[in-house]
Amino acid sequence: MNTRYSFGGDEHIFVECDEEMSLEAFFKGMSITTALREAKIRGVTEICPANASFQVRFDPDVIAPEAMLSELKALEAAAQAAPSVLETRIIEVPVYYNDPWTHETLMRFRERHQDPTSTDVEYTARINNLDGVDGFVKAHSGAPWFVSMVGFVAGLPFLYQMVDRARQIQSPKYLRPRTDTPRLTVGHGGCFGCIYSVRGAGGYQMFGITPMPIYDPNQTVPYLRDFMCLFKPGDIVKWKPIGREEYDHTVAEVDAGRWMPRIAPVTFSLAEFQKDIDGTNTRIMEALNGH
Amino acid sequence: MAINVIKPGLSTTVQDLGRPGYYHIGIPTSGAMDMLSLAAANLLVGNPAGAAALEAVFMGPELEFTADAMVAVTGADMPPKVDGQEQAGWTAFPVKKGQVLSFGFLKAGARAYIAVSGGIDVPVVLGSRSTYTLGALGGFEGRKLQAGDVLPMAAGSGARSSVSAGRSVPEELRRRPGAPAELRMLPGLYWHRITEAAGERFFEDTWKVAPEADRIGYRFKAGQPLEFVDREQPFGAGSDPSNIVDACYPYGSVQVPGGTEPIVLHRDAVSGGGYFMVGTVISADMDLIGQLQPHTPTRFVKVTMEEALAARRDRKAVLEGIAAALA
């Protein structure tokens, strides 16, 4: 991995941990940004981890750009030496795959899709050699995903599945972006999953919808009262396939202010994961299931 | 103590100096696109430079005051009127209880800043009163103004005794884009993705502001497409040569989807995505973008970090000059 530094104007430093996506590149960014946050350097105003890169915004009236760059390079050297262990949490997210709302939307924008004759799930299953819709749901919901970045719009998580590269689901974005995507659509573009936190434009394939709000600027949803965005980079997500009945029930419970997501603390070690991917994922899921 | 919105204008929002600190979860800073003009309007009416004011795009609102206030309008040249009587821009003027503030047609620039003594008293959300429309956050109910809205004015916002009507910002301190507009840019980020010849043409071409220009970003067209350096696309980046593994976007960063039309991200920026960027417009020139109308001829001017920092000092000197002139 070759770390590349570049100034983004006079207020930002952009750091690319690697050109290509990998869990290792993501972890390198997490380690350096965590160390940077703890270092509490005067003049640093924003620390934004991303998939295989990160970005720092600073006030050049407080810290000179070259001095900021030196601080980051020193932190990179220190982070390389530290073990890649993350104290994080696993969050279960119910998904109603092939739901009527994303289906209505994807039909409306069919002429912007690579394959106008099939749905987004059917298309993605086919190009990834998965056994139809069922095979797709099994692969998508079978192993957990890392929140590798939060952004684009408020609270939107980018997700990277915790499997080896051969098992990564890959799908192109729409040929031309849609002007509409239902709120809480579970989407996918390139090797990244996402949950659309608000309704709006989008180019990712649409696989389903979750009944679980993840962004609430009014902070009336009980689990978003402390903070309006649910996800942070480093969180782990496990999809739980649900049907129409459970979807409707969950929406009603959310509206009544009674529903809470299942969340459990978990420790993730990159070295352990690299040695035994499936074993590590099983252990992470056990944390969620209270074993 | 309120302002009744009779007509909202095209897109009028409450803005201050923004809410830094939440970009890592996708909440942009927001705030006035032309912060220098916002500060000037506030200082004219005796407010702190960062008080909440109204940002009106292309067309002004019509506002009825239910209490006396001192008002100033800066930024775009869009003449303010009190009960139909034209007032000078960049100048403090009184509005009495019951009077209506309206605006003539836009003559130059794009965004007018309307400051009211005491400031607009909407709730502070995550440290700021700025409106972030995409996230329905802050400002007045998280959206642009509508007819019938009642905007709270801060208590005791009546004209401050120390502020006299008629004082104005000296002409030489009213910063505006030139013709063509020039946006100074520090090349970098993914600049290496385009060929040397494409890089040269990028700075030689005169671009034009496209109709898709808003608080999220300004799109430019009419320049030549950029040619890419050949490479095998990295894993996770997507197949188009303009794609990268989704990354953070700096404020002011210049992305060029498909290599055709550059987009400069602004105060309501999407915080990240999968398009490569050729560099970043320097902090000193972000205000100017907020005053560009569609079709404005615009050139990107290559600068070094030293030049960017010098420009930042010059901008600060303008702000200090305005503060000194109105002290």
Question: Is the alpha carbon torsion for A248, A208, A26, A32 positive or negative?
Answer: negative
Alpha-carbon distance values, A221 to A184, A228, A253, B160 (Å): 15, 9, 11, 42
Percent above pLDDT 70 for chain B: 98
Return the residue matching tokens 């394939």: A205
Buried b (16+ CB within 10 A) or exposed e, B213-239: bebbbbbbeebeebbbeeeebbbbbbe
Distance CA A240, CA A211 (A): 11
Distance CA A108, CA A112 (A): 9
pLDDT value, residue B156: 58
CB atoms closer than 10 angstroms to residue B170 = 11
Per-residue pLDDT tens for B186-233? Answer: 999 999 999 999 999 999 999 999 998 999 999 999 999 999 999 999
Distance CA A39, CA A27 (A): 18
pLDDT higher than 70, residue B313: yes
Nearest CA in chain A to B134: A153
H or E element at residue B65? strand B62-65
On chain A, the residues whose CB falls within 8 A of the CB of B274 are: 173, 189-190
- Residues B32 and B267 sit within 8 Å (Cβ to Cβ): yes
pLDDT value, residue B240: 86
pLDDT value, residue A14: 98
- Residues B85 and B99 sit within 8 Å (Cβ to Cβ): no
Contacts of B258 (CB under 8 A, 6+ apart): B225, B240, B242
Domain covering B181-319 in this structure, CATH number = 2.40.100.10
pLDDT value, residue B239: 82
Contact between B25 and A155 using a beta-carbon 8 Å cutoff: yes
Amino acid at A192: F
Return the residue matching tokens 């130059």: B108
- Helix axis angle for B35-44 and B305-325, nearest 10°, is 10
Please give the interface size between A and B, counted as residue pairs whose CB atoms are below 8 Å apart.
179
Contact between A154 and B21 using a beta-carbon 8 Å cutoff: no
- Residues B184 and B308 sit within 8 Å (Cβ to Cβ): yes
Per-residue pLDDT, averaged over B13-40, amounts to 97
pLDDT higher than 90, residue B327: no
Whether A221 and A240 share a structural domain: yes
Alpha helix locations (H) across chain B? 35-44, 196-204, 286-289, 305-325
On chain B, the residues whose CB falls within 8 A of the CB of A21 are: 234-237, 245
Whether A115 and A232 share a structural domain: yes
Backbone φ and ψ of B53, nearest 5°? -135, -175
| Minimal CA separation from B280 to chain A, in Å | 5
Contact between A9 and B250 using a beta-carbon 8 Å cutoff: yes
Per-residue pLDDT tens for B108-165? Answer: 999 999 999 999 999 999 999 999 999 999 999 999 999 999 999 986 555 455 678 8
pLDDT category, B291, cuts 50, 70, 90? very high
> Within an 8 Å CB–CB cutoff, is residue A114 touching chain B?
no
Whether A140 and A281 share a structural domain: yes
Among A48, A154, A158, beta carbon nearest to B135: A154
**Number of separate domains in chain A:** 2
Rg (CA), chain B: 20
Nearest CA in chain A to B139: A217
Contact between A9 and B235 using a beta-carbon 8 Å cutoff: no
pLDDT value, residue A78: 86
On chain B, the residues whose CB falls within 8 A of the CB of A52 are: 236, 245, 247
> Which tokens hold the place of A236?
């782990």
SS3 B134: helix
Per-residue pLDDT, averaged over B24-49, amounts to 97
Domain CATH for A214: 2.40.100.10
pLDDT value, residue B161: 52
Q: Which domain holds residue A62?
A: 4-82
Per-residue pLDDT tens for B245-287? Answer: 999 999 999 999 999 999 999 999 999 999 999 999 999 999 9
Whether A68 and A95 share a structural domain: no
Contact between B137 and A149 using a beta-carbon 8 Å cutoff: no
> Within an 8 Å CB–CB cutoff, is residue A1 touching chain B?
no
On chain A, the residues whose CB falls within 8 A of the CB of B216 are: none
B178, exposed or middle or buried, with CB in 10 Å at 0-12, 13-18, 19+? exposed
Interface ipTM above 0.85: yes
Return the residue matching tokens 């998280």: B142
pLDDT value, residue B238: 81
Domain CATH for A13: 3.30.1360.40
Whether A211 and A235 share a structural domain: yes
Contacts of A55 (CB under 8 A, 6+ apart): A8, A12, A13, A14, A15, A46, A48, B247, B248, B250
**Range 252-291 of A in CB contact (< 8 A) with B:** none
Distance of CA B98 to the CA centre of its chain: 30
Whether A223 and A106 share a structural domain: yes
Distance CA A12, CA B226 (A): 24
Contact between B136 and A172 using a beta-carbon 8 Å cutoff: no
Mean pLDDT of chain B, nearest integer: 95
Among B142, B246, B284, beta carbon nearest to A149: B246
pLDDT value, residue A272: 94
Among A22, A191, A217, beta carbon nearest to B137: A217
> Within an 8 Å CB–CB cutoff, is residue A104 touching chain B?
no
Buried b (16+ CB within 10 A) or exposed e, A230-254: bbbbbbbbbbeebeeeebeebbeeb
Those residues of chain A that have pLDDT short of 70 are 291
Contact between B237 and A229 using a beta-carbon 8 Å cutoff: no
| Minimal CA separation from A173 to chain B, in Å | 8
pLDDT value, residue B164: 83
DSSP characters over chain A:
---EEEEETTTEEEEES-SS--HHHHHHHHHHHHHHHHHT-TTEEEEEE-SSEEEEEE-TTTS-HHHHHHHHHHHHHHHHHS--EEEEEEEEEEEEET-HHHHHHHHHTGGGSS-TTS-HHHHHHHHTT--HHHHHHHHHHHS-EEEEEE-SSTTPEEEEESS-GGG---BPPPSS-BS---TTEEEEEBTEEEE-SSS--B-SEEEEE-SS--B-TT--SGGGSS-SB---TT-EEEEEE--HHHHHHHHHHHHTT-----EEEEEEEHHHHHH-HHHHHHHHHHHHTT-
Whether A121 and A243 share a structural domain: yes
**Where do the CATH 2.40.100.10 domains begin and end in chain B?**
181-319
Question: What's the pTM?
Answer: 0.94
- Residues B224 and B204 sit within 8 Å (Cβ to Cβ): no
Whether A156 and A217 share a structural domain: yes
pLDDT value, residue A289: 85
Alpha helix locations (H) across B193-262? 196-204
Distance CA B163, CA A46 (A): 37
Whether A224 and A257 share a structural domain: yes
Among A10, A47, A231, beta carbon nearest to B305: A10
> Within an 8 Å CB–CB cutoff, is residue A243 touching chain B?
no
Whether A57 and A92 share a structural domain: no
Whether A184 and A42 share a structural domain: no
- Residues B229 and B191 sit within 8 Å (Cβ to Cβ): no
Domain boundary at A47, A82, A117, which? A82
Whether A163 and A177 share a structural domain: yes
Percent above pLDDT 90 for chain B: 93
> Which tokens hold the place of B34?
């032309």
pLDDT value, residue B127: 97
Alpha-carbon distance values, A243 to A94, A99, B210 (Å): 9, 9, 45
